[in-house]
Amino acid sequence: MPTSVRTAQDLTGRTAFVTGAASGIGRASAVLLAEAGAVVHCADRDAQGLHATAAAIKNAGGTARTHTLDVSDRAQVETAIRTAQQEDGLDVLAAVAGIMHSSPVLETTDADLDRVLAINFKGVLYACQAAARAMIDAGRPGSIVTMASGAVDTGGPGLLCYGAAKAAVVQLTKTLATEVGRHGIRVNAVAPGWIRTPMTERHNNDEEQVHTEALMSRMSPLGRVGTPEDVAHAVLHLASDAAAFTTGQILRPNGGVAMPW
């Protein structure tokens, strides 16, 4: 008998580890995974935001645990994921943590590039490595979801560091998928378009934010920018059995902005 939609996205009895869980897409993903039944380990360097996410999950009847860490520190990431695996097991990783950066190519410094790559690429790599090892050691299948960006599909001024790091995440996703599939581990990426989050709001002043959102809304056939929940549903889909035969793929909740129309 075919699996029902409700059953396919039911994560009851499973454990998820979410980086960047203090706000935005990370928080929305952590909350939605918990609503689907998973025990969610929430990780972020923002302790206050992290505990707010955990409180939201617990207030809704879910189970959340917190890890205050810097994803650019390999040891911190490995320790947190090892702890999660020992406490609850590990079935899902959502590597969402990231920062925004904009600088013209001719003005980009070593410090700019190093900082963005350390968080947006190396932070994802460290989490993927630790999670895959934990799943393999436990002999259980799992799902790894990375966070790429619509920047990998469309160029734009100032996007060198950010776009390069996200393109590296795409390559990591595809390569890792070929290496761990035999263990029953699926690896996929989500590449969002422009999403209204605290990160994008911090990156722009009010005038720039209004201009950018108006531009992106005009570019989208749907006539709007995205929300964190739009992306979180893509994360849940890839994390769940609804995507049981999906690996090495890039899911693009971008409102159609990368489509030539």
CATH number of the domain that 38 lies in?
A: 3.40.50.720
211 in a domain, yes or no? no
Exactly one of 17, 121, 126, 162 is catalytic; name it. Answer: 162
What is the enclosing helix (H) or strand (E) of 7? helix 5-8
**For 25-48, what is each residue's pLDDT tens digit?**
999 999 999 999 999 999 999 999
User: Residues 46-51: what's their mean pLDDT?
Assistant: 97
26 in a domain, yes or no? yes
User: Residues 79-107: what's their mean pLDDT?
Assistant: 97
What is the enclosing helix (H) or strand (E) of 19? strand 15-19
Share of the chain above pLDDT 90, in %: 78
20 in a domain, yes or no? yes
Counted domains in the chain: 1
Q: Read off the tokens for 124.
A: 């994802």
- Helices 47-59 and 24-35: crossing angle, nearest 10°? 30
Q: Is 94 helix (H, G, I), strand (E, B) or coil?
A: strand
d(CA 68, CA 230): 26
206 in a domain, yes or no? no
83 in a domain, yes or no? yes
213 in a domain, yes or no? no
79 in a domain, yes or no? yes
Please tell me the pTM assigned to this model. 0.93
**Range of the structural domain that residue 101 is part of:** 5-195+229-251
126 is catalytic: no
Average pLDDT over the chain, rounded to whole? 93
Q: Where are the alpha helices (DSSP H) in 60-146?
A: 74-88, 110-116, 123-138
Beta bridge partner(s), residue 193: none
pLDDT category, 218, cuts 50, 70, 90? confident
**For 145-193, what is each residue's pLDDT tens digit?**
999 999 998 878 899 999 999 999 999 999 999 999 999 999 999 999 8
pLDDT higher at 194 or 208:
194
d(CA 162, CA 178): 25
DSSP per-residue codes, 129-189: HHHHHHHHHHT--EEEEEE--GGGTS--TTBHHHHHHHHHHHHHHHHHHHHHGGGTEEEEE
Of the candidate ranges 6-15, 201-210, 247-256, the one whose mean pLDDT is the lowest: 201-210
17 in a domain, yes or no? yes
Residue 19 has pLDDT above 70, yes or no: yes
pLDDT at 1: 40
